[in-house]
């Protein structure tokens, strides 16, 4: 175990979600402390196709953090302090439309925040910093993920809106029908504030959403269960892991998107790592 910020570094970060607790083979484990507390777990740093990658399991490797208790700020800060500038965020999500059934990979282009009371900024005092969030995800990362998925034989959904609910409970049928009626297509519990915190650190952030269920308002029956989410995710994890390595390989080494510039000209109250 290496402590804090010795010589270990990585350029790409992967935040694994439910059922996705490990990614790399030959790893160095790093314990990183941050001004926002400890990340969900130690960070595994290794190499994929010659690219340095840092992996953190969002819920901890034993899934001890429920979605509303995840140390989102610490996770992203820790990744950035290791040198990470591009983040890939796989996640298990419900579908709000029958056209995206279980096993579908979706790369949404919008999110709607339905969480309550989660801390969603690094810039809490000593300055008012307002980042642009009209397009919450990195356009270059999305493009790379979609291309890699198509090449690997997926038929990924390009775009759509991820509704992020507070959880930890799943939605009622009425809530679910209401989200679907708004035109939102996916529902999860962790996409916010993760995406906006990445934006506040000028990181590229790309969601890779694996549909594990049709949400309660979309199909008849008992409604989604945790077991169902893990079962469907488990059936797809190896394929998704392989895709993640393809995406890592294809990410640009020079960022030409808008993400690195979102803080340009702003007088930040904190020094970023």
Ligand X SMILES: Nc1ncnc2[nH]cnc12
Active site residue ranges? 213, 215
Does 190 participate in binding ligand LNRAV4D5 (rule CB under 6 A)? Answer: yes
**What's the rounded Cα separation, in Å, for the pair 42 and 191?**
21
Does 93 participate in binding ligand X (rule CB under 6 A)? Answer: yes
Residue number with the smallest Cβ distance to ligand LNRAV4D5: 17
Q: Which tokens is 113 given?
A: 């925040």
Does 42 participate in binding ligand X (rule CB under 6 A)? Answer: no
Among 15, 74, 76, 187, binds ligand X (CB under 6 A): 187
Q: Which tokens is 232 given?
A: 């469907």
Residues 213, 165, 169: CA angle, nearest 5 degrees: 70
Cβ atoms of 244 and 107 within 8 Å: the answer is: no
Site for ligand LNRAV4D5 in 72-131 (CB under 6 A): 91-92
95 assigned binding-site residue: no
213 binds, among ligand LNRAV4D5, ligand X, none (CB under 5 to 8 A by kind): ligand X
Q: Which helix (H) or strand (E) holds 91?
A: strand 86-95
| Distance of closest approach, residue 177 Cβ to ligand X, in angstroms | 13
Does 149 participate in binding ligand X (rule CB under 6 A)? Answer: no
Does 210 participate in binding ligand X (rule CB under 6 A)? Answer: no
103 burial (CB, 10 Å; 0-12 / 13-18 / 19+) is: middle
| Distance of closest approach, residue 182 Cβ to ligand X, in angstroms | 15
Site for ligand LNRAV4D5 in 18-47 (CB under 6 A): 18
**What's the rounded Cα separation, in Å, for the pair 39 and 13?**
13
**CB-based contacts of 129: which residues, under 8 Å, 6+ apart?**
121, 123, 200, 263, 266, 268, 269
7 assigned binding-site residue: no
Cβ atoms of 44 and 55 within 8 Å: the answer is: yes
Cβ atoms of 71 and 37 within 8 Å: the answer is: yes
Chain residues that interact with ligand X, rule: CB under 6 A: 92-94, 165, 170-171, 187-189, 212-213, 215, 224, 229
Chain residues that interact with ligand LNRAV4D5, rule: CB under 6 A: 17-18, 58-59, 67, 91-92, 167, 188-190, 226, 229
Q: Tell me the binding residues for substrate.
A: 189, 213-215
């Amino acid at each position: 175990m290496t402590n804090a910020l010795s010589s270990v570094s990585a350029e790409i970060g992967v935040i694994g979600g439910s059922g996705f607790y490990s990614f790399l083979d030959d790893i160095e484990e790093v314990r990183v402390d941050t001004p926002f507390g400890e990340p969900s777990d130690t960070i595994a740093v290794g190499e994929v196709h010659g690219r340095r990658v840092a992996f953190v399991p969002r819920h901890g490797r034993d899934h001890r953090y429920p979605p509303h208790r995840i140390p989102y700020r610490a996770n992203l800060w820790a990744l950035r302090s290791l040198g990470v500038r591009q983040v890939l965020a796989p996640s298990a999500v419900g579908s709000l439309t029958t056209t995206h059934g279980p096993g579908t990979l979706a790369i949404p282009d919008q999110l709607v925040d339905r969480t309550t009371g989660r801390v969603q900024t690094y810039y809490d005092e000593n300055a008012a910093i307002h980042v642009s969030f009209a397009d919450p995800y990195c356009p270059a990362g999305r493009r790379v993920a979609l291309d890699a998925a198509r090449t690997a034989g997926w038929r990924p959904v390009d775009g759509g809106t991820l509704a992020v609910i507070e959880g930890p409970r799943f939605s009622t049928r009425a809530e679910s029908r209401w989200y679907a009626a708004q035109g939102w297509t996916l529902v999860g519990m962790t996409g916010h504030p993760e995406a906006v915190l990445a934006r506040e650190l000028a990181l590229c952030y790309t969601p890779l959403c694996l549909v594990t269920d049709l949400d309660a308002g979309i199909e008849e029956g008992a409604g989604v269960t945790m077991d169902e989410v893990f079962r469907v995710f488990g059936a797809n994890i190896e394929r998704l892991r392989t895709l993640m390595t393809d995406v890592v390989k294809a990410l640009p080494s020079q960022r030409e998107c808008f993400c690195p510039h979102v803080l340009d000209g702003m007088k930040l109250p904190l020094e970023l790592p």
